[in-house]
């Protein structure tokens, strides 16, 4: 395992100090109130209602409920969201005539389509003669839309760089007219979705192969100029106008979600990050990394292209049909659990090979476009003239690769080393254990501990001067880690049938105990350990049916950091504390073990400080300590059984168990 090193630290918002201290942050938006009213008849038991709230322990002996500004802000935010929806339905009418940026006068005719960033109409030049195309596409975006918060649409900047390049339509004029930002563009023909739909909702292998190679050539040019598209799907690939020389050419449109994958004059790759609450794209075709909120890279466009190609050939993807608020979660889970063999059943072999490559690309890996294009060569007609789609953009690359065909090996890196597959593996449920370098100390572990035997193990440890540092659960049995290096002065604990028993926790807060370790079992029970002698000055926790990243992010802005984390069945419990000893914190959340993200965080100086996992997901909290430890070495293990043998081997190297959990990984 690599040693941790100091690195660039991500900037954070300033800490907000409050004089009040929250006991129950029972904020209700209008949407939440409506949901509660609708669900009154089927309300869960009282203890479940209480546990699903954000509970905070303050600094004062008798905490009070805060009449805080955040309540007003949250209600106002909810109202503004509703207002925005109303405005979108009641915007000013579109003009009948358009003239912007020195353009001719165009008459606005029928609507071509509507997307997340505006509406597109046919525009016809009024004057019989003069410069400019007779028929154009005119895109309108209202000045109050989400994409125009800071002036002209962001998409304009992207078209300034990419417009007119291979496979990207040209923008002829743009400007503001009335309440709308207007862009006058090349008029194009049907989308690939239109072609698929009018062809019996299927496409031939040769047609799909033509789409593949030409799409790759378009994405190569786009990526070369520093952008990833961010929303690759059949609806965004258009053919040229029918009955024109462009009718067989392929174009990629709708650049509103495009982002830069490199930055600065040196062209360095953007920094890796993960924000699980940030999703960009279309759920059906988005990459798994996009679902998980990871920074967009070139690999994401290629994964979306792979799903697009499979859809066009098969007519359906296995994750279609999910509905509801957790649709993105369910689709992402299905994508992760669907093998490439199953997804590409009845598809040409090159499609599976293509998918195998792109889903295993690293974040900053440069795609080998020529290798990928060469996969589809045998599916193409040898005569480019009679192919259903013009492949001029890919033809030169195909010819270059053809002469080297014997040397291409998709299972090897360009330097001949075996390719490491980062997402291919058998999903497994395992122990995840984390070890930190420490000065020699006494540490003890117990596992497969029943509720009845828990007390005797803890009492024996206390008699030997040991206190609990970490707890976990597997198969409704407990694992306990006790050591002499916690720094705590005393401890209390509770086994409860309630996942994080609010009343007991608040009683201990009154006695100046703070939560130092938590665990939950599949049957909903919990083990909560609270200690005196911690450095914490304030504490808050939340129980949620899904990983509560938005709440965590809010608490980060208030100066809290995650200090404990656990799951009980599918529920998550997260404890956050002020004065935690951390300066920065990030989350790695995945449906498999997020090895790539962990290594990238390690290289920036972060260390794993909390872990938790359900049967579906694993989450790791990585923190930047305010005081740099003398030895920053950290190692992790994934084992099917409790790692008792491995723990002893680590002890011999002065590496001690820091945190442990049981849940989803990959074998």
- pLDDT, tens digit, 9 for 90 and up, residues 382-411: 998 999 999 988 876 666 655 454 445 556
Please state the three-class secondary structure of 191-235 as a single string: EHHHHHHHCCCCCCHHHHHHHHHHHHHHHHHHHHCCEECCCCCHH
DSSP-derived secondary structure for 406-430: GG--TTB-TTSPBPPPSS-S-EEEE
Whether 339 and 350 have beta carbons less than 8 Å apart is answered as no
Find all residues with CB under 8 Å of 455, minimum gap 6, and list them: none
12 falls within a domain: no
Can you give the CATH number for the domain in which 103 is found?
3.30.200.20
CA-to-CA dists, residue 549 to 276, 296, 570, angstroms:
7, 19, 15
Clarify whether residues 469 and 578 are in a common domain. yes
User: Of 155, 186, 217, which residue constitutes the final position of a domain?
Assistant: 186
**Do 377 and 507 lie in a common domain?**
no
Output the pLDDT for position 70. Answer: 36
Confidence band (pLDDT; 50, 70, 90) for 2? very low
pLDDT tens for residues 327-343?
Answer: 999 999 999 989 999 99
Annotated binding site: 139
Q: How many domains does the chain have?
A: 3
Residue 195 has pLDDT above 90, yes or no: yes
Residue 197 shares a structural domain with residue 305: yes
321 and 372 fall within a common domain = yes
Q: Is 400 found in the same domain as 464?
A: no
Residue 617 has pLDDT above 60, yes or no: yes
Q: What is the pTM of this model?
A: 0.83
Quote the Cα angle for 652-662-303, to 5°.
110
- One domain, residues 548 and 521: yes
What's the rounded mean pLDDT across residues 518-534? 96
> Looking at the domain assignment, is residue 644 inside a domain?
yes
Average confidence (pLDDT) over 67-86: 35
Q: Are 250 and 330 members of one domain?
A: yes
Domain's final residue, options 406, 440, 469: 406
* Average pLDDT, rounded, for the chain: 85
* Element at 588 (helix H, strand E): strand 582-590
Q: What is the mean pLDDT of residues 352-357?
A: 96
Same domain, 139 and 172: yes
pLDDT digits (tens, 9 = 90+) for 277-300: 999 999 999 999 999 999 999 999
**pLDDT tens column, 47-71:** 444 445 678 776 433 333 333 333 3
Q: Which residues, in sequence order, are bridge partners of residue 613?
A: 618
449, 479 Cβ separation under 8 angstroms: yes
Please, what sign has the CA dihedral across residues 281, 361, 401, 220?
A: positive
C-alpha 456/C-alpha 236 separation (Å) is 64
Q: How much is the pLDDT for 394?
A: 84
CA distance 119 to 110: 11
| Least confident interval from 75-89, 389-403, 504-518, 562-576 | 75-89
Identify the band that residue 541 occupies on the pLDDT scale cut at 50, 70 and 90.
very high
CA–CA distance, 299 with 358 (Å, rounded to integer): 6
Query: Residue 396 maps to which CATH number?
Result: 1.10.510.10
At 341 the pLDDT is: 93
Between CA 6 and CA 110 the distance in angstroms is 58
Residue holding tokens 């389509």?
Answer: 113
The last residue of one of the domains, among 154, 186, 218, is 186
Average pLDDT over residues 454-472: 97
The whole-number average pLDDT for the span 621-636 is 92
Burial code of 628-654, b = ≥16 C-beta within 10 A, e = fewer?
eeeebbbbbbbeeebbeebbeebbeee
List active site positions: 231
Contact 362, 596 (CB under 8 A): yes
Q: Are residues 116 and 206 in the same domain?
A: no
Binding residues for ATP, as ranges, are 139
Question: 445: domain range?
Answer: 427-666
The pLDDT confidence band at residue 379, using thresholds 50, 70 and 90, is: very high
**Res 621: pLDDT:** 98
Return phi, psi of residue 322, to 5°: -70, 145
Chain segment 219-271, per-residue pLDDT in tens:
999 999 999 999 999 999 999 999 999 999 999 999 999 999 998 777 899 99
Please check whether residue 56 lies inside any domain of the structure. no
Same domain, 596 and 658: yes
- CA angle 333-337-339, nearest 5°? 140
Alpha helices in 490-621 (DSSP H): 502-510, 549-557, 595-603
- 234 and 352 in a single domain? The answer is yes
Q: Is 445 a member of any domain?
A: yes
Q: Is residue 313 a contact partner of residue 347, using CB atoms and an 8 Å limit?
A: yes
Answer with the residue of higher pLDDT: 256 or 29: 256
Assigned domain for 266 exists = yes
Residue 481 near residue 656 (C-beta atoms within 8 A): no
* DSSP summary character for residue 378: G
User: Is there a domain that residue 76 lies in?
Assistant: no
528 vs 265, residue with greater confidence: 528
Position 33 pLDDT exceeds 70:
no
Question: Which residue has better confidence, 638 or 5?
Answer: 638
The 10s digit of each residue's pLDDT in 103-133 is: 999 999 999 988 767 899 999 999 877 666 7
What band does 666 get if pLDDT is binned at 50, 70 and 90? confident
Q: What is the pLDDT of residue 563?
A: 98
> Considering only CA atoms, which of 288, 285, 185 is closest in space to residue 238?
185
Say how far apart CA 521 and CA 205 lie, in whole Å. Answer: 50
Percent of the chain with pLDDT over 70: 82
């Amino acid at each position: 395992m690599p040693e941790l090193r100091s690195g660039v630290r991500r900037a954070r918002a300033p800490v907000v100090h409050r004089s009040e201290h929250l006991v129950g942050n029972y904020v209700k938006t209008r949407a939440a109130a409506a949901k509660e009213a609708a669900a009154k008849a089927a309300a869960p038991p009282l203890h479940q209602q209480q546990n699903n709230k954000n509970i905070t322990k303050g600094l004062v002996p008798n905490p009070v409920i805060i009449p805080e500004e955040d309540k007003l802000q949250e209600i106002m935010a909810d109202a503004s969201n509703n207002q925005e929806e109303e405005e979108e339905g009641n915007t000013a009418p579109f003009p009948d005539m358009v003239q912007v940026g020195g353009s001719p006068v165009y008459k606005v005719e029928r609507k071509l389509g509507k997307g997340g960033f505006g509406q597109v109409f046919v525009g016809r030049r009024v004057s019989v003669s003069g410069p400019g195309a007779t028929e154009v596409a005119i895109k309108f975006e209202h000045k109050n839309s989400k994409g125009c918060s800071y002036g002209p649409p962001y998409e304009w900047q992207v078209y300034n760089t990419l417009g007119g390049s291979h496979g990207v339509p040209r923008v002829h004029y743009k400007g503001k007219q009335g309440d709308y930002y207007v862009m006058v563009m090349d008029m194009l023909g049907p989308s690939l979705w239109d072609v698929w739909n009018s062809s019996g909702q299927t496409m031939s292998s040769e047609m799909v192969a033509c789409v593949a190679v030409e799409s790759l050539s378009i994405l190569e040019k786009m990526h070369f100029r520093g952008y990833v598209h961010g929303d690759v799907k059949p609806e965004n690939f258009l053919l040229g106008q029918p009955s024109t020389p462009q009718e067989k050419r392929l174009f990629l449109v709708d650049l509103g979600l495009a982002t830069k994958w490199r930055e600065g004059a040196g062209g360095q790759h953007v920094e890796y990050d993960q924000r699980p609450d940030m999703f960009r794209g279309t759920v059906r075709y988005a990459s798994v990394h996009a679902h998980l909120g990871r920074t967009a890279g070139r690999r994401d466009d290629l994964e979306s292209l792979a799903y697009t190609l499979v859809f066009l050939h098969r007519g359906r993807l296995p994750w279609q049909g999910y509905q509801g608020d957790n649709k993105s979660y369910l689709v992402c889970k299905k994508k992760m659990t669907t093998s490439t063999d199953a997804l590409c059943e009845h598809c040409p072999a090159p499609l599976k090979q293509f998918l195998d490559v792109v889903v295993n690309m690293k974040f900053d890996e440069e795609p080998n476009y020529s290798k990928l294009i060469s996969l589809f060569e045998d599916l193409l007609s040898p005569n480019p003239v009679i192919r259903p789609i013009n492949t001029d953009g890919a033809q030169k690359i195909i010819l270059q690769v053809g002469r080297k065909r014997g040397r291409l090996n998709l299972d090897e890196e360009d330097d001949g080393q075996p390719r490491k597959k980062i997402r291919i593996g058998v999903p497994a449920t395992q122990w995840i254990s984390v070890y930190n370098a420490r000065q020699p100390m006494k540490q003890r572990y117990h596992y497969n501990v029943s509720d009845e035997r828990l007390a005797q193990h803890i009492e024996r440890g206390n008699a030997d001067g040991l206190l609990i540092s970490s707890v976990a659960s597997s198969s409704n049995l407990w694992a306990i880690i006790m050591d002499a290096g916690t720094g705590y002065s005393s401890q209390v604990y509770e086994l409860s049938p309630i996942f994080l028993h609010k009343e007991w926790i608040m009683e201990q807060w009154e006695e100046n105990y703070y939560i130092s370790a938590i665990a939950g079992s599949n049957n909903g029970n919990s083990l909560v350990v609270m200690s005196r002698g911690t450095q914490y000055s304030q504490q808050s926790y939340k129980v949620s049916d899904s990983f509560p990243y938005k709440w965590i992010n809010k608490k980060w802005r208030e100066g809290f950091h995650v200090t404990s984390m656990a799951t009980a069945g599918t529920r998550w419990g997260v404890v956050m504390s002020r004065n935690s000893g951390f300066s920065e914190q990030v989350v790695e959340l995945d449906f498999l073990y997020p090895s790539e993200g962990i290594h990238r965080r390690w290289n920036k100086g972060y260390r794993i400080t909390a872990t938790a996992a359900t049967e579906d997901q694993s989450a790791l909290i990585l923190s930047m300590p305010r005081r740099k430890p003398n030895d920053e070495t950290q190692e992790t293990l994934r084992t099917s059984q409790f790692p008792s043998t491995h723990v002893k081997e680590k002890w011999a190297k002065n590496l001690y168990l820091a945190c442990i959990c049981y849940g989803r990984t990959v074998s």
